[in-house]
Amino acid sequence: MLIATDLDGTLVPNASSSVSPFTAEVLKRLDEAGIPVVFVTGRPLRWMEAFWPHIGEHGLAVVSNGAITYDVHAREVVTTTGIEPAVGLEIAAAISDAVPGSAFAIERMDGIRHGTDFVDRHRVPPDSPSGPLAEIWDEPALKLLVRNGGLDHDEFRDRVIAAVGDLAHATWSIPGLVEISAAGVTKASALVGLCKTLGVEASDVIAFGDMPNDIPMLTWAGTSYAMADAHESVLALADHVAPPVEEEGVAHVLEGLLADLCR
C-alpha cells in the first residue's frame, strides 16, 4: 500500500508553511506501520523545506507537477523532465497569438525567471532574473507559467490549453494561472515511476487531491479521494470524498485506515 497526497488544499491549507500536529502524528504512525506517504505537489523544491521532516523512511517526493522526483534524504534529484527552450518558446508564441497580453515565467532547478510583465508577489522573489523570454530561457524549464489578467479564468484557461495542443501538458491549480509541463509529464507519470521503484502496483495506491492538476494521479490510483471542497471536476471522478482540508480530512481518513489495519 502507498498513500499519494497533494499538499495545498488537500493535506494542508493553500500556501501553508507547516503541517499541523495532528496531521504530523498520523503521518508518523503510517510511516512506523510501513505505509509510505508520498507528497505529490505542484510546488517547486524551494517551497518544500518545511515538509521534509514529515517525508518518512522512503524519502521520496514528487514536485513541480511531476517534473521532478526527489530523494529528500540524499537531497538529490532522482528524475527530472523539462521543456526544452526551443519547444517552450514555440509554445509561448502560440499562446501569445491565441491570448494576446499573456505574461510568462519559467520554473527552473535554480528558481524562477520571468518576463517583466509577469506579476505574482507570492511566487516571484524580487531578485529573480527577468527579461524577454528568449533571453532568460537558456536551459530546460520544469514548468512554463502563464498569466493573463484581462480575461475570465475559464476562457483564458481554455484558450491557452487549445494553443498548447500536443506540444506540452497544460493544467491549473489556482484561477488565473496555467501551468505547463513537458509533454507527458503529470503527477501520475512521476508517481508511476516512483511506485515502480518501490514495487507498488496502482491498485495498492490511495490518492488524495482537490484540483484539476491532480486528476491524472487520481485516475491512475486504485483508490481516489477528492476533498469535500475540491473543484467540481475532481469531485466528479473520485471514488470517495474526504472531509475538507480545514478539518484535516486527509489525516482523518488515514487515521481510520490505520484503525482498520489494526483490527
Confidence of residue 124 (pLDDT cuts 50, 70, 90): confident
Percent of the chain predicted with pLDDT > 70: 98
What is the mean predicted confidence (pLDDT) over 172-197?
A: 95
Q: Which residue has the cell 525567471?
A: 113
Domains for the chain: give ranges and CATH numbers: 2-81+185-261 (3.40.50.1000), 85-182 (3.30.1240.10)
pLDDT tops 90 at residue 15: no
Q: Greatest CA separation found in the chain?
A: 60
Rounded to two decimals, the pTM is 0.95
pLDDT tops 80 at residue 126: no
pLDDT tops 60 at residue 235: yes
Helix (H) or strand (E) holding 89: helix 85-98
* Contact status, residue 105 vs residue 113, Cβ threshold 8 Å: yes
Region for 147 from its dihedrals, namely left if φ exceeds 0, alpha if ψ lies in -120 to 50, beta otherwise: beta
Cell (9 digits) for 259: 484503525
What is the mean predicted confidence (pLDDT) over 61-86?
A: 97
What is the mean predicted confidence (pLDDT) over 130-152?
A: 92
pLDDT of residue 111: 92
pLDDT of residue 261: 80
